[in-house]
Amino acid sequence: MAIEETTNKGVSKVMKILVIGGGFAGVWSAAAAARVARENGTAGTAPQITLVSDSDEMVIRPRLYERDPGQMSVLLDRVLKPIGVERIRARVTKIDTAAKAVTICDATGQVRSLIYDRLVLATGSQVFRPELPGREFLFNIDTIAAADTLERHVQRLETHADNVAPESRFAAVVIGAGFTGLEIATELMGRLREMADAHTGRARVLLVDRCDEVGAQLGEGPRPYITEALQQLGIELRLGSEVSEVTESQVRLADGEIIPTATTVWTVGMSASPLTQMIPGERDGLGRLVVDEFLRVPTTPSVFAAGDTAAATVEGGHVTMQSCQYATPLGKFAGHNVAADLMGLEPVPFAPNPYVTCLDLGPAGAVLTTGWDRRVQMTGSEAKAFKHRINTEWIYPPVDDEDAILRVADYHFTWTMD
């Protein structure tokens, strides 16, 4: 059954769950709601679930620092079709919580409204765009398109370098020494070194951060391993520094230093999707909606938030990080609760697995920590193998298999590490 448009005033008896966003949180919200509907609904009483996303693909964002980022996605239809979730490809431009309606615009420019009984907002986050002279020369790896643009640029440096100064060709500057900056810097060092060796050139990667230490948010536990990896790879640090200008062939730092480089990557600052501003409710410093233990926006009870749009409290009173690690369970619990809410079932409080981080350090391996105090559990090639399994197995949804998708959609589900 097609979702009802607001222009059609006829009242349908079918309750409608609308999920906005086709990333980790949106896909798992829709799948968890489908699971609850399947287990508890009878024909005619189960809610109808529709997912709206502006892409046909679920992008595996945590892999966008790797080679071939254009391949890092899964077709949404391979996950949603087998479990009976309707999908609409369109951009949501407005949410009217009083009318319980959203305005969408499809690829042809056609605008229409969709109504809902319950909404899950799962439109993710975006990297900050700085007001920096030369910002048009900055690369980023926030979206699959942006990461692919960087990939093609790096490939061109190897083959078409006529207009590139030799000292800039295999040099990269990465702005931001946080999680994303460290992963792309170490990855680029491996790539540029391979290319430079083949062309008897010199590879150079510099990490610039206004903080005085690398991985400031990652804490002290993994820092010695990160610092050692950067030294081993020969990555240069400019800490306590800011970039004042970028051009096609160089970066200028605030202290006047000029760094020749053909490749400058910006990784600093994430904020929640601007659609969060259309939901009445409290927002945190990242623009995320503050949700209750059931992932509902307290002041707008028909709306739940999941993934990078939600600030939820977890163990020890900590607040979720914008990460795939939280987006997936946030999606599963929000989807479960939104369906339970409509079907008169008990909601379940958000209780994800304990906090873990696994940072890829390129050719120097990886570092795995557990807990909010980030105790190091694994380093080097052992941690790299663990990261590889996260990136190639655990963060991917099953496809084309209804039972497998609904089994993983259960909020109790966890991967075993055998």
Ligand X SMILES: Cc1cc2nc3c(=O)[nH]c(=O)nc-3n(C[C@H](O)[C@H](O)[C@H](O)COP(=O)(O)OP(=O)(O)OC[C@H]3O[C@@H](n4cnc5c(N)ncnc54)[C@H](O)[C@@H]3O)c2cc1C
Task: Return residues touching ligand X (CB under 6 A).
Answer: 20-26, 52-55, 61-62, 64-65, 91-92, 122-125, 141-142, 180, 273, 275, 307-308, 322-325, 327
Task: Compute φ and ψ for 166, nearest 5 degrees.
Answer: -55, -40
- Shorter beta-carbon distance to ligand X: residue 244 or 271: 271
The residue among 194, 178, 161, 364 whose CA lies nearest residue 263 is 161
- Shorter beta-carbon distance to ligand X: residue 261 or 273: 273
Cβ-based burial of 158 (10 A; exposed 0-12, middle 13-18, buried ≥19)? middle
214 in Cβ contact with 207 (< 8 Å): yes
- Shorter beta-carbon distance to ligand X: residue 12 or 71: 71
Nearest distance, CB of residue 128 and ligand X, angstroms: 12
- Shorter beta-carbon distance to ligand X: residue 250 or 309: 309
Nearest distance, CB of residue 124 and ligand X, angstroms: 2
- Shorter beta-carbon distance to ligand X: residue 102 or 171: 102
Per-residue b or e along 337-360, where b marks 16 or more CB atoms closer than 10 Å to that residue's CB: bbbbbbbeeebbebebeebebbbb
Expressed in percent and rounded to 5, the helix, strand and coil fractions of the chain are 35, 25, 40
Nearest distance, CB of residue 11 and ligand X, angstroms: 26
- Shorter beta-carbon distance to ligand X: residue 118 or 169: 118
Using CA atoms, how far apart are residues 220 and 387, in angstroms rounded to an integer?
20
135 in Cβ contact with 268 (< 8 Å): no
291 in Cβ contact with 238 (< 8 Å): no
- Shorter beta-carbon distance to ligand X: residue 307 or 335: 307
What pairs with residue 87 in β-bridges? 51
Report DSSP state, residue 353.
Answer: P
Half-sphere exposure of 287 (CA within 13 A, CB side): 18
Nearest distance, CB of residue 367 and ligand X, angstroms: 12
Nearest distance, CB of residue 290 and ligand X, angstroms: 16
Cβ-based burial of 253 (10 A; exposed 0-12, middle 13-18, buried ≥19)? middle
Nearest distance, CB of residue 40 and ligand X, angstroms: 25
Using CA atoms, how far apart are residues 152 and 94, in angstroms rounded to an integer?
35
Nearest distance, CB of residue 348 and ligand X, angstroms: 20
What's the alpha-carbon Rg for the chain, to the nearest Å?
Answer: 23
- Shorter beta-carbon distance to ligand X: residue 323 or 369: 323
Nearest distance, CB of residue 179 and ligand X, angstroms: 6
300 in Cβ contact with 279 (< 8 Å): yes
